[in-house]
Amino acid sequence: MNILFNYLIFPGFIFTAVAGLFASYVDRKVTARVQWRKGPPLLQPLYDFVKLLGKETMVPVGASKTTFLLAPVFALTSIVIVSTIVWNTLLSPGKTFLGDLIVTVYLLTIPSIMIILSGFASKNPLASIGASREMKLILSYELPYLFAILVPIIKSNSIRLGEIVQYQWTEGPFIGSVSGIIAVIVMVLCTQAKLGLVPFDMAEAEQEIIAGPFIEYSGPPLGIFKLTKWSMLFVVPSLTVLLFFPALNFWGNILGYVVLLVVVVLIRNTNPRVRIDQAVRFFWTWVTLLSLISVVLASYGL
């Protein structure tokens, strides 16, 4: 019963969805203020989602129907599980299982993989281009992301999220060290790519390939994909909060998350989109170099 409550209501589905809707609102509002506009009302993401639930679902001729319709559901499920693990750990770090960090990292890639699958399943040439770009983007950002995650593992000498949090509660957060700061910078850059936000949003580049993998989606499946994207906007930065600066209570963690979210949104608003080859080069040279430096520094205890 408790497990069901965890997965469906509090740190699980309902909480993630509400927090994701709010994160999307913050994203749009900050974007509007940066562009000197007024921006949408608070309930706007909810209106969008409810509206999409009431629209017609269209499956293109020749598309793989099962994959096309199931991909968003799998993406949302995996992100809800990640959210449950991350926020349960932040609230009560004693209750985790061995290797949950590895499970989290794997589950975080599933939404991207589902986006690729849905793009290829929809039998649209532009969607295929978007999906192949997403694939290249995964190959480029996963390596520095894993290196950055190695820093807390080396420092706390554990792969349990709970022990990482407890270590930081007693010894001080990892962001206070040199390697921690570098790793957080790498994590923020990879977050940008993971969420598909502007410098690295070439997978769904609206001006050139329309909406990339989402081009053929309409109605409820599109709504579920949008909810997944919004939930990722909540979950991926909160994993960074957990790994580098967890606070002692719930509202402290939320505060840390909101600061990180505003940083992400400001990066998104002040940069142009790069090409896919530029992104791959950027991640494989500079970001990987930074993350390697942070790993080396962490192994010397800095």
Least distance (Å) between residue 226 CB and another protein: 9
Which range touches another protein (CB under 8 A), out of 92-100, 161-169, 202-210, 253-261?
202-210
Least distance (Å) between residue 134 CB and another protein: 16
Closest to another protein by CB, 187 vs 197, is 197
- The answer to whether residue 214 forms part of the interface with another protein (CB under 8 A) is yes
182: nearest Cα among 273, 272, 292, 72: 292
Closest to another protein by CB, 72 vs 152, is 72
Torsion (CA) 197, 202, 208, 212 in degrees, nearest 10: -90
Closest to another protein by CB, 50 vs 266, is 50
What's the one-letter identity of residue 42?
L
Annotate 165-177 with b (16+ C-beta within 10 A) or e (fewer).
bbbbeeeebbbeb
Site size toward another protein (CB under 8 A) is 33
C-alpha–C-alpha distance, residues 58 and 219, integer Å: 8
Least distance (Å) between residue 119 CB and another protein: 13
Question: In the window 101-160, what residues touch another protein (CB under 8 A)?
Answer: none
Q: Rounded to a whole number, what is the distance in angstroms from the first to the last CA of the chain?
A: 44
Specify whether the CB–CB gap between 148 and 187 falls below 8 A. Answer: yes
Give the number of other CB atoms < 10 A from CB of residue 178.
Answer: 13
Site string for another protein, 32-71 (x = CB under 8 A): x--xxxxxxx-xx-xxx-xx-xxxxxx-------------
Specify whether the CB–CB gap between 199 and 190 falls below 8 A. Answer: no
Closest to another protein by CB, 44 vs 109, is 44
Least distance (Å) between residue 124 CB and another protein: 9
- The answer to whether residue 219 forms part of the interface with another protein (CB under 8 A) is yes
Closest to another protein by CB, 55 vs 275, is 55
Among 70, 188, 211, 258, binds another protein (CB under 8 A): 211
- The answer to whether residue 288 forms part of the interface with another protein (CB under 8 A) is no
Residues in contact with 241: Cβ distance below 8 Å, sequence separation at least 6, in sequence order: 90, 253, 256, 257, 260
Residues in contact with 152: Cβ distance below 8 Å, sequence separation at least 6, in sequence order: 164, 174, 183, 243, 244
Residues in contact with 31: Cβ distance below 8 Å, sequence separation at least 6, in sequence order: 39, 265, 268, 269
Closest to another protein by CB, 12 vs 130, is 130
Least distance (Å) between residue 56 CB and another protein: 4
- The answer to whether residue 201 forms part of the interface with another protein (CB under 8 A) is no
Least distance (Å) between residue 45 CB and another protein: 9
Please give the radius of gyration of the chain, using alpha carbons only, rounded to the nearest integer: 19
Instruction: Report DSSP state, residue 35.
Output: T
Among 153, 154, 182, 215, binds another protein (CB under 8 A): 215
Closest to another protein by CB, 107 vs 127, is 127
What is the contact surface with another protein in residues (CB under 8 A)? 28, 32, 35-41, 43-44, 46-48, 50-51, 53-58, 206-207, 210-211, 214-219, 222
